[in-house]
């Protein structure tokens, strides 16, 4: 009986420590009293756990500056935070346009970043290249404590087993990417869908007041919209990314996938069709100079006032707005984060708001908040790094 009671107390302490670590990571100016209030734990419980972590060297005390104090009466309190150099994580995104990787410290700050061409269609070729990219970052980390590597990629991913269940690259399907990479680099590997990991990174990097749940509306080659509930992604058994791009809209009596109407892939197709017909000469010149068509080129031509490019983008975002409205009207997330290179242009952000809110039902138009996260090419890789930190540091 004494043994069971002892085990129960140890497990309670472990769970409390996990809660406290997660709160410190996500809280701006984390103080012991504030952590106790947020978690509903006693101040002695918080103090004991925090002191243990200070002794271990993973936490440090930071003076709160005058401007951050609620009032300046009495002794100035210290905030607590994780020591940035206490541990590091590598994040990799095998995206539709490029392979990107980052080395992050324990505060989510990027120390090194690297970008390469999109991963090979051949699984073994991709595996060797990604292992080399990871090794490069490991070399740059030197003797720093590395927690492991998080990897995000499109498709349906079994993150518990690290297996690629479905992917646009057929040769990758059914492969155990986590185990295969771990054998090559000898670090723990965690694998998940890249958009899910973007949503995880968004949640973990939002400090201060933030919603309990939000939808993450991501537009790239395809369109996805995973839902974050509390501190994890809700997406069902198949572990996809809220594949809204594969839902359908009725266009002139014909059913079409959102991916075929509003994604960057759909915009590319329309622009290429116009260039083949001898139009969009400015865009064609940029494409030939770069050797490929990119969203940045299309947006540059849009900003120069090209009427046809503006019309193509306007129509695509109109469809995206309807798709987003369908998500909001169905699940009422209250808060939506929109992420896309497409939304780096102000007029495109306004067009999405107009198209979505014009189709919101009831009070959603007034009560649902849509925010645009600044476009960052490395956001997917950073999300993978955040995920690794959460799973192999905060939650253990």
pLDDT one-digit tens code per residue, 342-357:
999 999 999 999 999 9
For the chain, list the domains and their CATH numbers: 2-82 (1.10.10.10), 86-204+379-394 (3.30.420.40), 212-372 (3.30.420.40)
Q: 43-56 and 2-26 helices cross at what angle (nearest 10)?
A: 80
Mean pLDDT of 13-40: 95
Q: How confident is the model at residue 107 (pLDDT cuts 50, 70, 90)?
A: very high
SS3 (DSSP) at 159: coil
pLDDT score of 70 more than 90? no
What proportion of the chain, given as a percentage, has pLDDT over 70?
Answer: 93
Higher pLDDT, 390 or 236: 390
Mean pLDDT of 99-111: 97
**pLDDT at residue number 318:** 98
Positions of E strands within 83-127: 88-94, 98-105, 110-117
Mean pLDDT of 88-96: 97
Asked whether the beta carbons of 275 and 283 are under 8 A apart, the reply is yes
Higher pLDDT, 29 or 375: 375
Q: How does the average pLDDT of the chain come out, rounded? A: 93
**pLDDT at residue number 1:** 46
**pLDDT at residue number 240:** 63
Q: What is the pLDDT of residues 176-215, one digit of tens each?
A: 999 999 999 999 999 999 999 999 999 999 876 778 899 9
Mean pLDDT of 289-310: 97
Q: How confident is the model at residue 242 (pLDDT cuts 50, 70, 90)?
A: confident
What proportion of the chain, given as a percentage, has pLDDT over 90?
Answer: 86
Which stretches within the chain are classed as H helix?
A: 2-26, 32-39, 43-56, 123-141, 177-185, 194-205, 259-262, 264-276, 281-290, 295-303, 307-331, 346-357, 364-367, 379-389
Q: How confident is the model at residue 29 (pLDDT cuts 50, 70, 90)?
A: confident
**pLDDT at residue number 37:** 96
**pLDDT at residue number 239:** 54
Mean pLDDT of 110-128: 97
Q: What is the pTM of this model?
A: 0.94
Higher pLDDT, 327 or 239: 327
Q: How confident is the model at residue 365 (pLDDT cuts 50, 70, 90)?
A: confident
pLDDT score of 12 more than 60? yes
Mean pLDDT of 77-83: 92
**How far apart, in Å, do the first and last CA atoms of the chain sit?**
26
């Amino acid at each position: 009986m004494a043994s069971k009671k002892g085990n129960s107390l140890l497990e309670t302490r472990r769970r409390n420590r996990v809660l406290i670590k997660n709160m410190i990571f996500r809280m701006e100016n984390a103080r012991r009293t504030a952590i106790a209030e947020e978690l509903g734990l006693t101040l002695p419980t918080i103090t004991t756990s925090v002191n243990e972590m200070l002794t271990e060297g993973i936490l440090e005390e930071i003076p709160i500056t005058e401007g951050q104090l609620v009032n300046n009466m009495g002794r100035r309190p210290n905030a607590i935070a994780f020591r940035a150099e206490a541990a590091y994580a590598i994040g990799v995104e095998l995206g539709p346009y490029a392979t990107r990787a980052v080395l992050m410290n324990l505060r989510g700050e990027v120390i090194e970043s690297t970008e390469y061409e999109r991963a090979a269609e051949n699984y073994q070729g991709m595996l060797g290249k990604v292992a080399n990219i990871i090794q490069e970052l490991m070399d740059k980390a030197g003797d720093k404590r590395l927690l492991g590597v998080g990897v995000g990629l499109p498709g349906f991913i079994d993150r518990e087993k690290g297996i690629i269940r479905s992917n646009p690259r057929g040769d990758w399907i059914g492969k155990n990417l986590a185990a295969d990479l771990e054998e090559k680099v000898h670090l723990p590997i965690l694998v998940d869908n890249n958009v899910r990991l973007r949503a995880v990174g968004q949640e973990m990097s939002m400090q201060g007041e933030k919603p309990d749940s939000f939808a993450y509306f991501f537009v790239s080659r395809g369109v996805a919209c995973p839902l974050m509930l509390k501190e994890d992604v809700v997406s069902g058994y198949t572990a996809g990314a809220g594949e809204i791009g594969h839902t359908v809209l009725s266009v002139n009596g014909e059913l079409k996938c959102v991916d075929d109407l509003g994604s960057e892939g759909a915009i590319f197709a329309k622009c290429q069709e116009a260039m083949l017909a001898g139009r969009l000469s400015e865009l064609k010149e940029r494409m030939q100079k770069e050797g490929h068509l990119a969203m940045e080129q299309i947006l540059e031509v849009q900003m120069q006032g090209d009427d046809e490019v503006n019309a193509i983008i306007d129509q695509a975002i109109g469809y995206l707005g309807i798709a987003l409205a369908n998500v909001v009207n169905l699940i009422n997330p209250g808060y939506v984060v929109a992420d896309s290179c497409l939304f780096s242009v102000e007029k495109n952000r306004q067009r999405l708001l107009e198209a979505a809110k014009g189709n919101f039902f009831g009070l959603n138009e007034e009560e649902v908040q849509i925010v645009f996260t600044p476009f960052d090419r490395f956001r997917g890789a950073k999300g993978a790094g955040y995920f690794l930190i959460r799973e192999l540091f905060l939650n253990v």
